Amino acid sequence: MRRRDFLGATVAGAAALAAPAVHGQASAARVLRIVPQANLTSLDPIWTTATITRTHAYLVYDTLVGMDSSFQPRPQMAEGWTIEDDGKVYTFTLREGLRFHNGEAVTARDVVASIKRWWARDGFGQEIAKRHASLVALDDRRLRLTLQKPFALTLKALGKANASPCFVMPESVANTDPHTQITSAIGSGPYRFVREEWNPGSRVVYARFEGYVPRQEPTDWTAGAKLANAERMEWHIIPDPATAGAALQSGEVDFWEIPLHDLLPVLRRNRNIEVVVRDPIGSVGMLRFNHLVPPFDNPALRRALMLAVDQENYLRAVVGDDPGMYATSYSFWSRGSPMHTEEGSEPLRVKSLERARAALREAGYAGQRVVQLHASDFPTLAALSQVTADLLRRLEINLEFVATDWGTVVQRRASREPIERGGWNIFHTTWSGPDWFDPASTLAMRANGTGAWFGWPTSERMEALREQWFEAPNQAEQKRIATEIQREAFRVVPHIPLGHFLSPSAHRRNVTGVIKSPIVLFYNMGKSA
């Protein structure tokens, strides 16, 4: 199924369209204008795993520990740390001069409160939480984490750069119930969030934080120097790809995070534009079920739908026919991960409407309504979602296709209510490759019921195997356990993997400091005159 089948309108004349009127300050080297992947609706990177919120958070907040391009933890807000008592006691010392955007000094108490809020929600953080004996501030600059027994992945958890990093907030904010969204955006990162200029659905503005003192080491993903090279950063929310493409070509915007793949040839012909594969690892797509409400609370129905899924249809809908831009992956672990395996994936290779229809009948599907959430303003997710909608209709599923913006999907997917009261059955999202590397990083593979990520799957076996994985003595044993987790996942079907694809970015050639990373990082970016 080709991507253009789902666009609803041709993009061939995009270059000829008039650029939108971009309001605000006149174009200058000190102002960087970005078209991000989606609208920013939630400011809380602990409450949601939405990528756009994480991108926002890396501008506004900082982390105690960073992660470099070798996936090694490095001191970030920490000046350094010591590890004692056979790996059970970690003492961190903060760098001098750290300040929040409101002018207050960052203290160890702020970090302690932030870690506790983070580990209440994050699956990797929960592994520290259940092993810890105490976490206390020793004084303004030192904090101590004491474990009941050694946990070799402690620093990697604190420095993780995939879904739900451990961002540091003021203690008064971090004391907010982790299941309640914060509305504050006071951090200690390189940029301040300019709340008075925030217009959801239109514009988000950041200003350089003059009080930020970057580290002296070279930038390396989320480790090292974080530079505010632009005095002012504006995100312009332009849902229509043709309009965004015209704005980039005319110079009304400087950087487009995820251009429509069909527009890439047009953009490449413009000598003032550079198209870059910013993330060499790529992204993974997902069809996520709600396990709490009918009809997909029935695992047999989830397995039945999997029989009809053809990853090629989804991938070509997203990126077109270029085989260099996508790859099938019949696995719950991302390509390139030491855990990657396709064992147990036979149901995902069937690709048969007839077998899926028969399995749906056998599982007892009797025309129950299925509510599918569709992010119409997010081209990648819209393409995935429309392939599923077409598939469900061909399977004669009683579909209610709810088209909204991505921000509304992010809010609604948190609802555990029945569909009659605003709930849902299916939505789509994508993750960066490292988000699916292993049981520690793959939040969507938690199966601890209402404590799990949106969709709330339950499998005591998956959870028990996950615990074994953390205690495994070597990578070979980890791989064996990860394979068993995958076999159970193909039985439980927490979600359906939809394959890997690359998402190039495009920017004006005078944009500088673009970080190539599997996660989106806008600090360090600037613009020459």
The last residue of a domain, from among 143, 174, 205 = 174
pLDDT digits 0-9 by tens, 336-386: 899 999 999 999 999 999 999 999 999 999 999 999 999 999 989 999 999
Can you name the residues that pair with 132 across neighbouring β-strands? Answer: 147
Give SS3 for 257: coil
User: Rounded to an integer, what distance in angstroms lies between the CA atom of residue 261 and that of residue 283?
Assistant: 14
Asked if residues 329 and 402 have their Cβ atoms less than 8 Å apart, the reply is no
Where is pLDDT greater, at 25 or 33?
33
Which pLDDT value is given to residue 25?
39
Res 8 pLDDT > 90: no
The last residue of a domain, from among 174, 203, 232 = 174
Mean pLDDT of 261-282: 93
Count CB-CB contacts under 10 A for residue 349. Answer: 15
Residue 59 inside a domain? The answer is no
Which pLDDT value is given to residue 28?
56
Domain CATH code at residue 335 = 3.10.105.10
* Domain hosting residue 481, numbered range: 283-501
Res 3 pLDDT > 60: no
Which pLDDT value is given to residue 336?
85
Which pLDDT value is given to residue 29?
66
Tokens found for residue 472: 């495994």
Question: Which pLDDT band holds residue 152 (cuts at 50, 70, 90)?
Answer: very high
* Residues 304 and 399 placed together within one structural domain of the fold: yes
* Residues 394 and 518 placed together within one structural domain of the fold: no
* Residues 26 and 115 placed together within one structural domain of the fold: no
Which pLDDT value is given to residue 471?
92
Which pLDDT value is given to residue 163?
85
User: Rounded to an integer, what distance in angstroms lies between the CA atom of residue 9 and that of residue 11?
Assistant: 7
Which pLDDT value is given to residue 281?
83
Residue 11 inside a domain? The answer is no
Residue 520 inside a domain? The answer is yes
Domain CATH code at residue 76 = 3.90.76.10
* Residues 151 and 205 placed together within one structural domain of the fold: no
* Residues 272 and 123 placed together within one structural domain of the fold: no
Residue 87 inside a domain? The answer is yes
pLDDT digits 0-9 by tens, 490-521: 999 999 999 999 989 999 999 999 999 989 99
Which pLDDT value is given to residue 17?
35
Mean pLDDT of 46-63: 96
Res 526 pLDDT > 60: yes
The domain tally of the chain equals 3
pLDDT digits 0-9 by tens, 388-399: 999 999 999 999
Closest CA to 282 of 249, 326, 344: 326
* Residues 363 and 257 placed together within one structural domain of the fold: no
Q: Which residues contact 477 (CB under 8 A, 6 or more apart)?
A: none
Residue 57 inside a domain? The answer is no
* Residues 82 and 72 placed together within one structural domain of the fold: yes
Burial class of residue 256 in the structure, from the number of CB atoms within 10 Å of its CB (0-12 exposed, 13-18 middle, 19+ buried): buried
Residue 123 inside a domain? The answer is yes
Mean pLDDT of 426-454: 94
Residue 43 inside a domain? The answer is no
Tell me which amino acid residue 501 is: F
Residue 12 inside a domain? The answer is no
Mean pLDDT of 180-204: 96
- H/E stretch holding 202 reads none
Angle formed at CA 104 by CA 118 and CA 41, multiple of 5 degrees: 45
Mean pLDDT of 55-79: 97
pLDDT digits 0-9 by tens, 118-151: 999 999 999 999 999 999 999 999 999 999 999 9
Percent residues over pLDDT 70 in the chain: 95
Tokens found for residue 379: 């081209």
Asked if residues 107 and 87 have their Cβ atoms less than 8 Å apart, the reply is no
Question: What's the whole-model pTM score?
Answer: 0.87
Domain CATH code at residue 521 = 3.40.190.10
* Residues 129 and 219 placed together within one structural domain of the fold: no
CA 529: distance to chain centroid?
A: 33
User: Rounded to an integer, what distance in angstroms lies between the CA atom of residue 323 and that of residue 326?
Assistant: 6
φ/ψ of 363, rounded to 5, equals -80, -5
Res 529 pLDDT > 70: yes
Which pLDDT value is given to residue 105?
98
* Residues 114 and 253 placed together within one structural domain of the fold: no
Supply the mean pLDDT for the chain.
Answer: 93
Asked if residues 76 and 187 have their Cβ atoms less than 8 Å apart, the reply is no
* Residues 311 and 390 placed together within one structural domain of the fold: yes
Burial class of residue 117 in the structure, from the number of CB atoms within 10 Å of its CB (0-12 exposed, 13-18 middle, 19+ buried): buried
List the end-to-end C-alpha distance of the chain, in Å, as a whole number: 44
* Residues 429 and 340 placed together within one structural domain of the fold: yes
Tokens found for residue 477: 């044993």
What is the residue-wise DSSP string for 1-65?
A: --GGGGSSS--TTGGGSPPP---SSPP-TTEEEEE-SS------TTT---HHHHHHHHHH--BSE
Q: Which residues contact 126 (CB under 8 A, 6 or more apart)?
A: 119, 120
* Residues 237 and 326 placed together within one structural domain of the fold: no
Percent residues over pLDDT 90 in the chain: 89
Res 100 pLDDT > 90: yes
Which pLDDT value is given to residue 23?
41
Which pLDDT value is given to residue 162?
86
Which pLDDT value is given to residue 525?
97
